[in-house]
């Protein structure tokens, strides 16, 4: 009985084996992809890998090209042609000079940025060009191959080089040394004069340049868009006419704003006044209008830290009386109305 059932069980097993082997033979004859390696598929995988490597290389090149194009964009905060801006940047990198200081000194020396400006000094020396390079430096700068200070590129090289020789000083001492020479700066320092009209002008130009750069950056960021739905109801937004609204006000009149207005997110600026600057500017005006040479240096030395603290307290008190009144808004990113 047992053998009978064993014989019956063998039949389906043999049938399964037969069909399995037959299926394998068929697939091998017809190159069935699922059971036999596909040479073409292997080739495709290899090609895909090559393409991915090439794509990565192209993306790297595009980034390099993009960076190069950024370098070719003129800096709006430097009133020079693109060619001269590039030369200035290269010379600053060559001599290790902060380009912001170089621009501030150039604009203090030559506010109209006239490459042919010539100024004759009382001591017989002559200041020439963009950086008003003094003729007492003639032999020194000739060693750099500079022969024509009215040539803007040569003058930039000379000016940046001179700034680099003053790196042992910092801040207003450095700027005074550029203006008066190191000897003149040391004589003033021996008299206790560490700040001059010239050095304060350079400092003011540095602050002005930084503020201009911030405004340009904010304007460029305005090209980036954010969705209205991403903003909070209490956030402030601004239209192209500098009118300020809350996001909630915009949502309550979407039809009007979507049709009529371009909207931007805002950056808040809180009014801030530096007491020392207020005092210095006031004395500066008095000096320019009425007082004798060197008076400004004497009076500046009479300003104490305690004086500044007292004036600062008064200014801060005035600004704190109505905080909402003493803020302003600037456009930042453009808003896409998506609701």
Q: Tell whether 322 and 297 lie within a shared domain.
A: yes
In this structure, what CATH number is given to the domain that contains residue 131?
A: 1.10.530.10
Q: Tell whether 94 and 196 lie within a shared domain.
A: yes
Q: Tell whether 117 and 188 lie within a shared domain.
A: yes
Q: Tell whether 237 and 271 lie within a shared domain.
A: yes
> What is the rounded average pLDDT of the residues 156-163?
98
Q: Tell whether 310 and 250 lie within a shared domain.
A: yes
User: Is the pLDDT confidence value at 204 over 70?
Assistant: yes
> What is the rounded average pLDDT of the residues 152-168?
97
Q: Tell whether 62 and 156 lie within a shared domain.
A: no
| pLDDT score at 127 | 96
Of the two residues 287 and 219, the one the predictor is more confident about is 287
| Percent of the chain topping pLDDT 90 | 37
Q: Is residue 205 part of a domain?
A: yes
| pLDDT score at 139 | 93
> What is the rounded average pLDDT of the residues 112-117?
95
Residue span of the structural domain in which 321 resides: 222-339
Q: How many CA atoms lie within 13 A of 207 on its CB side?
A: 9
200: closest CA among 173, 235, 165, 227? 173
Task: Answer yes or no: are the C-beta atoms of 110 and 152 closer than 8 Å.
Answer: no
Q: Final residue of a domain: which of 47, 70, 93?
A: 70
Coil/strand/helix, residue 221: helix
| pLDDT score at 84 | 96
| pLDDT score at 56 | 74
User: Is the pLDDT confidence value at 9 over 70?
Assistant: no
> Among 40-49, 157-166, 326-335, which stretch is predicted with the lowest mean pLDDT?
40-49
Q: Tell whether 65 and 93 lie within a shared domain.
A: no
> Among 42-51, 74-83, 138-147, 281-290, which stretch is predicted with the lowest mean pLDDT?
42-51
| pLDDT score at 10 | 55
Taking phi over 0 as left and psi of -120 to 50 as alpha, with beta for the rest, 335 belongs to beta
Taking each helix axis as running N to C, give the angle between helix 171-190 and helix 152-164, from 0 to 180 degrees, rounded to the nearest 10: 60
Instruction: Render pLDDT for 248-290 as a digit per residue (tens, 0 to 9).
Output: 999 999 888 887 778 989 888 888 888 888 888 888 889 888 9
Q: Is residue 56 part of a domain?
A: yes
Q: Is residue 104 part of a domain?
A: yes
227: closest CA among 322, 144, 333? 333
Q: Tell whether 150 and 243 lie within a shared domain.
A: no
Q: Tell whether 66 and 95 lie within a shared domain.
A: no
Q: Final residue of a domain: which of 193, 212, 231?
A: 212
| pLDDT score at 296 | 83
> Among 55-59, 166-170, 198-202, 325-329, which stretch is predicted with the lowest mean pLDDT?
55-59
Q: Final residue of a domain: which of 183, 212, 241?
A: 212
Average pLDDT, the chain: 82
Q: Is residue 76 part of a domain?
A: no
Q: Is residue 233 part of a domain?
A: yes
Q: How many CA atoms lie within 13 A of 187 on its CB side?
A: 5
Q: Tell whether 237 and 298 lie within a shared domain.
A: yes
pLDDT band at 241 (very low <50, low <70, confident <90, very high): confident
Of the two residues 220 and 167, the one the predictor is more confident about is 167
Q: Is residue 77 part of a domain?
A: no
Task: Answer yes or no: are the C-beta atoms of 279 and 311 closer than 8 Å.
Answer: yes
Number of domains in the chain: 3
> Among 34-43, 176-185, 283-292, which stretch is predicted with the lowest mean pLDDT?
34-43
Pairwise CA distance, residues 275 & 283, whole Å: 12
Q: Tell whether 188 and 241 lie within a shared domain.
A: no
pLDDT band at 71 (very low <50, low <70, confident <90, very high): low
Strands 126-128 and 118-120: antiparallel
Most confident of 46-60, 162-176, 288-302: 162-176
Torsion of CA 248, 252, 258, 261, to 10 degrees: -60
């Amino acid at each position: 009985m047992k053998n009978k059932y064993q014989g019956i069980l063998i039949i389906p097993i043999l049938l399964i084996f037969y069909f399995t082997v037959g299926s394998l033979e068929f697939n091998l004859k017809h190159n069935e992809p699922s059971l036999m390696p596909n040479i073409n598929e292997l080739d495709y995988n290899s090609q895909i890998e090559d393409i991915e490597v090439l794509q990565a290389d192209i993306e790297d090149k595009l980034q390099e090209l993009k960076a190069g194009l950024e370098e070719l964009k003129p800096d709006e905060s430097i009133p020079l042609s693109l060619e001269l801006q590039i030369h200035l940047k290269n010379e600053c990198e060559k001599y290790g000079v902060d380009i912001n200081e170089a621009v501030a000194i150039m604009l203090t020396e030559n506010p109209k940025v006239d490459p042919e400006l010539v100024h004759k000094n009382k001591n017989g020396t002559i200041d020439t060009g963009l950086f008003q390079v003094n003729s007492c430096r003639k032999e020194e700068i000739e060693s750099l191959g500079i022969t024509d200070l009215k040539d803007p590129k040569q003058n930039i090289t000379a000016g940046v080089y001179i700034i680099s020789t003053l790196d042992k000083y910092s801040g207003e001492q450095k700027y005074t040394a550029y203006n008066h020479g190191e000897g003149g700066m040391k004589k003033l320092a021996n008299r206790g004069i560490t700040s001059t009209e010239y050095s304060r002008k350079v400092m003011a130009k540095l602050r002005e340049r930084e503020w201009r750069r911030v405004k340009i950056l904010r304007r460029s960021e305005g090209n980036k868009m954010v969705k209205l739905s991403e903003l909070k109801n209490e956030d402030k937004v601004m239209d192209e006419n500098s009118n300020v609204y809350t996001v909630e006000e915009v949502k309550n009149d979407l039809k009007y704003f979507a049709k009529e207005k371009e909207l931007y997110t805002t950056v808040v600026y809180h009014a801030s006044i530096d007491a020392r600057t207020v005092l210095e500017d006031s004395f500066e005006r008095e000096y320019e209008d009425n007082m004798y040479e060197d008076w400004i240096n004497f009076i500046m030395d009479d300003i104490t830290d305690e004086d500044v603290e007292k004036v600062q307290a008064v200014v801060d008190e005035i600004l704190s009386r109505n905080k909402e009144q003493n803020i302003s808004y600037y456009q930042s990113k453009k808003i896409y109305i998506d609701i």
